Chain A
Amino acid sequence: MIEVNAVTKTFKLYHRPADRLREIIFRRPLHTPYMALDNISLKVNRGETLGIIGRNGAGKSTLMKILNNVLLPDSGTIISHGRVTALLELGTGFDSSISGLQNIRANGLLLGMTEAEIGARQDAIIDFAELGQFIDEPLRTYSSGMTMRLAFAIAIHADPETFLIDEALSVGDGNFQQKCMRRIHEFRQQGGSIVFVSHDLNAVKMICDRVIVLNHGKMAVQAEPEEAVNYYNQILAGEQKDYEILGGKKNGYGTHKVKISCVRATGEDSGGDILSSGENLILTVTMKGNADIATITLGMMIRDRFGQDIFGTNSHFMDFPLSIKSGEKREIRLIMPMSLAPGKYTITLALHEGADHTNECYHWWDNALHFEVSGIRGHNFNGVCNLSPSIEAS
């Protein structure tokens, strides 16, 4: 359990550190204050996982350092029961010239374990990290994956009451990641608390019970994961402009008799370009005519991060004829249930004549915009898309 009451942290920004000395001696302020955390209160109960999300510089890392007692707050209190172990940066204090085994000892002591505890858990750590006889080799011979596995194994075996995780779950290959997740799950079931900071919104939705959104050092919202993630997306969206077309090659090619002037993809509920699987995606395309055209087809293709075509359609397939006059602007909206698996996707758009773009292509724009599916509404599923089956038994 860890509890934070009204914690405020201001960093004094000096031109040079020496100004701090001059300030003490001459007793006049020489700094610009920067409020990193403003009146933050939170509580993580036993067995609970609290997520913290926010933009870069929102105060997430400062809060984690205060929870870990590495930074001292200006005011406010931190109450924690039992050992607080941070997985801030994996492998803090690792020495590459000594063996993995010696590093277990060194790292364990730094994490606050006693010699006896280290001795007792040593084999479990080596086993968990899947290092085998490599454990007696110097750390410099390890691959980065092996180092990370060792670091994670030590941290999770430190057996803390509260575990602070800062962007550290992308450890090793898929197998090992699943093992880590299982271990974290066990840890929670045994009553351990977790504070989890990440930009991986999908992971946040998956493991957190509650999520806090930090914005400019203030607690913007504290809510259920999905609600908090949506709120966070609104913060992000508020600072991103629509994809305005400025001309030039990167905005595609074509005869430009009619052009796409503005596109946007938003989740129906999230309001931003990050949405949950199962939510509706609204794709808004604004096109502008430079000539009178009677038959226009608007096409789109969703591709995954490997560039694979996932789904594509066009207004011709959908029997929705479009036309435009010179100087006219039209907005077209495509609404589709986003049944795709969590991941990052791009959308390629095209305006052409007829069923495909081989007759005359007015405007073809590869990767015009991207969106992210994060978290799943309803039942979990594997694979690339959700076929929403029903289940019966006789």
Chain B
Amino acid sequence: MNFPLLLHFVRKDLIDRHAASALGALWTLLLPLSNILIFTLVFSRIMGARLETMGMEYLGSYGYSVYLVTGLLAWICFSATMTRITDVYHEKAGLITKVRISLISLPIYVVISETIVYLISMSFFVIFLLLIDFNWSIYWLWLPVIFLTQQILAYGLGLVFAILSVFLRDVKEIVNVGTQFWFWLTPIVYVSTIIPENWSVIFVLNPIYHTTKAYRDTLILGQNPDFMGLGIVAMLGLSLLAFGVYLGRHVERDIRDFL
């Protein structure tokens, strides 16, 4: 698929989708903002005390907000990328059945679109951090690396789910429900230490736990991420993507017939 067409899809996704509403593309940012507000109001008291023992005491009363936002914005981007790719063939069925479009690279527009939303949300977060005299560190350079790892995983998983959902419509709902569980099984709004020690295997097996932890290690605590964990997630993402591409090539004829 050529680049201008990809950009057109991104533009359509970000702007034209909201062309008829008064606030337009602003709605894309209001969802993460409302989530941040809700979770801050509900959890900041409960979690705040625990955070102070984890090297975040210098942030004072903003500690929980900073902790939450570093994890939550990335999660919203990850889950939106994955779930929206899962549905991409049905959403674009009208085009796929009429115009020649590569099935493998079509989902890239979702990845780009959600990445732009993330970058915009993050820039607001950076402004907020500037206002509260945040301790910046060189470890922020890790951010694109961790983010790339996460998006490759989202693309790979989404692609596999998207192919499966052509044959089994339930996949979309399963992914939606699964994403809810996944969210609460990852220490995004809560602190990992509130979970009993012997349950921690759930975290170790959860790739997003590793990326979330990596964001916090680098952005907030100013230290290197866990290379091992991050590396494994990257490998997992790449293998899923490779599997998705293989699967897609293998059943492309069937996908086109079914749509």
Interface residues of A (CB under 8 A from B): 11-12, 17-18, 20-21, 24, 65, 68-72, 74, 86, 88-89, 92-93, 95, 97-98, 102, 105-106, 109-112, 114-115, 138
Contact = CB atoms under 8 A, between A and B. Distances in A.
A70 B256 contact: yes
Given A17-B167, A20-B167, A95-B12, 4 more contacts: A18-B168, A20-B251, A70-B98, A71-B253
Nearest to A111: B99
Given A20-B167, A105-B8, A71 B95 contact: no
B57 interface: no
A95 to B, nearest CB: 6
11 contacts: A12-B257, A68-B99, A70-B100, A70-B256, A71-B256, A89-B98, A93-B99, A98-B16, A109-B4, A111-B99, A115-B4
Which of B5, B16, B96, B257 has the most chain A CB atoms inside 10 A of its CB? B257
Interface in B77-96: 94-96
A92 B93 CA distance: 11
Given A95-B12, A97-B20, A109-B4, A20 B100 contact: no
B98 A88 contact: yes
Which of B98, B164, B258 has the most chain A CB atoms inside 10 A of its CB? B98
A110 B95 contact: yes
Interface in B232-250: none
B43 to A, nearest CB: 39
B99 A110 contact: yes
Contact of A21 (B4, B168, B256, B257): B168
Contact of B258 (A20, A102, A112, A114): A20
Given A12-B257, A89-B98, A95 B16 contact: yes
B257 A71 contact: yes
A93 to B, nearest CB: 6
B166 interface: yes
A93 B254 CA distance: 23
A203 B257 CA distance: 30
A128 to B, nearest CB: 21
Nearest to A17: B167
A137 to B, nearest CB: 13
In the A-B complex, the 4 residue pairs with the smallest Cβ-Cβ separation, listed nearest first, are A92-B98, A72-B253, A17-B167, A69-B100
Contacts of A112: 100
B8 A109 contact: yes
Given A70-B99, A70-B100, A97 B4 contact: no
B19 interface: yes
Contacts of B94: 92-93
B252 interface: yes
Contacts of B19: 97-98, 138
